[in-house]
Amino acid sequence: MKSLGYARVSSREQAENSHALGQQIERLKAAGATEIYSDVESGSKDDRSAFNQLMETVKAGVIDEVVITRLDRLSRSLITLRKTLEVIRCTEVNLRVLDDNIDLSTAAGKFHINLLGALAEMEVDQLSERVRHGHQHHRDRNAAYFAPFGYVKVEDDLELDHTPFLCLLADQVEMSRAAIGRDMVETFMACRSLRRSLRTINQKYGITSHAYKGKGNKQARGKFHFHTSGFTSWLNNPILRGHLCYGRSRRQRQSHKHLWDIRYDTHPDHRLINEEEYRQIEAILDYNSKQGGFSFKSDIIHPLSGLIYCEQCNRKCRITHFRLRSDPSVKKYSYQCNSYHLNACTQKRSVREPILEQAIIDALMTRAEEIAEIAQLPQEAVDPPALQALKAELAYYEAAPGNRADAIIADLKKQIGAFWHRQLLEDKHQLANQELLQGFSDRRYWQTLLPEEKQDLYRALVDRVYMREGKVAGVELKV
> Distance between CA atoms of 127 and 442, rounded to whole angstroms?
66
Asked if 9 and 20 count as a contact pair (C-beta separation under 8 A), the reply is yes
> Distance between CA atoms of 365 and 355, rounded to whole angstroms?
15
> Distance between CA atoms of 411 and 424, rounded to whole angstroms?
20
Other C-beta atoms lying within 10 Å of the C-beta of residue 236: 19
* Of residues 9, 137, 22, 122, the one with CA closest to residue 70: 9
Q: Are strands 164-168 and 317-323 parallel, antiparallel or unpaired?
A: unpaired
Asked if 67 and 102 count as a contact pair (C-beta separation under 8 A), the reply is no
Catalytic residue among 10, 42, 44, 233: 10
Is residue 255 annotated as part of the catalytic site, yes or no?
Answer: no
Which residues are tagged catalytic? 10
